Amino acid sequence: MGFLNRRPAPVEVNTANTTATAPAHHHENKAGILGRQHEAHAAPNGIGAPSSWNTRPTFGQWIKATGLDIVSMAVMGAIGLGVYMARPAPSRSFPVTFQDGEVVYPQFAYPLRNEIVPIWAAALMAALIPIAVFLFCQIRIRSFWDVNNATIGLLYSLITAAVLQVFVKWLIGGLRPHFLTVCKPDVSLLQIGNGYRQIMYDRSICTGDEKEINDSLESMPSGHTTAAFAGFVFLYLYLNAKLKIFSNYHPAMWKLIVLYMPILGAVLIGGALTIDEYHNWYDILAGACIGTVMAFSGYRMVYASIWDFRFNHIPLLRHSPFIYGSGPSTFDGFHSATFTRKANWGTHDAGAWGGAPGDASDSPRGTMAAAAGGVANAAHGHGHHNRIISNGRSTHGGNIGNGGEPVPNGAGRHSVERKPVSGSRYGEHMV
């Protein structure tokens, strides 16, 4: 059994915790992307339960699910590289000196210095450090889809943020703090100035290296900061989900420290650019905003939630939608996809009970909707339709009286035979 090849036994269907009405029509089970793992297992009621979604696919199945993403990333990378190498689009004007030789805007006259953190180093750290953490967490999580979704989502964030920022650099840009040093304006040509008091000029008076001039005209936004925040904010969201820091229990302080270490790293990378005079503060702020937005977007595309602690650790799958609601993990097999084991996280008894505003509180939490090989036809073939009643509600829409008998809401409703089943700390269920 491989390191990321844990195949937990499929969880049996527990109708005591389910409030969904079984469909009336039978649908043939067909193998989905994980079809090779869909063995039939008998539940106590004789109904075959689906196997866990949390199983490793074959390479061909993985390529089928991810191939379009790989092509999209390659295309976006090529576009971003082409725009990055292009000459700046706008023809900017800039001040140099008054007629008496006074420098008008000294904030663009800083010396050219070496970068404290080169752009290639910032990009590598923003990619490799989160991936290393994803792999480390698999010591306990051991889920192929978790490490797959985390890595794919990180690449969503990094590549999209990079392409967006190079387009902004190319079409808008701005002067770097060392622009005049790189430009090396020829003072003998200053009589061609224009604008108010003829103090504005364009790059035609520059005598420096053309590549350095092009780069110094594309200051906003900061590529270093964009990459750092795109990678490290994504890692921040991942750690919050796996350690359940903002959750339903009191976590240890070391988790808070670990959580904000990626944010500290991103801030240090961005802040260093003000020390080596490579960027203005507003360039860094713009890069941080772009990277953060892409990190949130990338994470939400591959995980069930960002802040809802009940679901934000669950990887989303391509072949079946996730169903939100209250109750315990049942069908998906992702109940153990957390690093922490405090407060029963990582088990079926994880504290994810109870609905919240907007929740489908009558659905079992942590299920994948019935797709190929799914659970939609679990109750087919029985002589009557099971109606599950929980917390005083019935799928027929009727209420339960004090005596335990259903009270119909209108004509045409029929009563449902019920009997109590074993209670739990979550309350008694009626079937």
pLDDT tens digits along 77-97: 899 888 887 887 767 777 776
Name which of 241, 237, 243, 248 is nearest 353 in CA terms.
248
**Residue bearing the bigger pLDDT, 315 or 94:** 315
Do strands 367-368 and 322-323 pair parallel, antiparallel, or not at all (unpaired)?
antiparallel
Mean of pLDDT values over 241-257? 92
Residue 261's SS3 state is helix
Q: Is 28 a member of any domain?
A: no
pLDDT for 302 equals 94
pLDDT for 65 equals 83
pLDDT tens digits along 393-411: 444 444 444 444 444 444 4
Give the torsion sign (CA, 108, 114, 116, 117). Answer: positive
State what percent of residues in the chain have pLDDT above 90.
28
**Residue bearing the bigger pLDDT, 30 or 198:** 198
Query: Same domain, yes or no, for 284 and 422?
Result: no
Task: Tell me the residue range of the domain where 407 lies.
Answer: 387-431
Query: What's the burial of 251, exposed, middle or buried (CB within 10 Å: 0-12/13-18/19+)?
Result: middle
Return d(Cα 104, Cα 395) in angstroms, integer. 75
Taking the model in full, what pTM does it have?
0.72
Asked if residues 151 and 195 have their Cβ atoms less than 8 Å apart, the reply is no
Kindly indicate the confidence band of residue 323, based on its pLDDT and cuts at 50, 70 and 90: confident
Q: Is 65 a member of any domain?
A: yes
Mean of pLDDT values over 337-364? 65
pLDDT for 368 equals 64
pLDDT tens digits along 173-212: 888 888 888 888 876 666 566 776 667 777 778 888 888 8
Cis omega before residue 262 (within 30°)? no
Q: Is 430 a member of any domain?
A: yes
Beta strands in 219-265 (DSSP E): none
Query: Same domain, yes or no, for 239 and 317?
Result: yes
Q: Domain count of the chain?
A: 2
Query: Same domain, yes or no, for 375 and 398?
Result: no
Query: Same domain, yes or no, for 358 and 369?
Result: yes
Kindly indicate the confidence band of residue 30, based on its pLDDT and cuts at 50, 70 and 90: very low
Kindly indicate the confidence band of residue 99, based on its pLDDT and cuts at 50, 70 and 90: low
Query: Same domain, yes or no, for 69 and 135?
Result: yes
Give the torsion sign (CA, 241, 246, 250, 255). Answer: positive
Query: Same domain, yes or no, for 164 and 271?
Result: yes
Q: Look at residue 275 and tell me whether its pLDDT is greater than 80.
A: yes
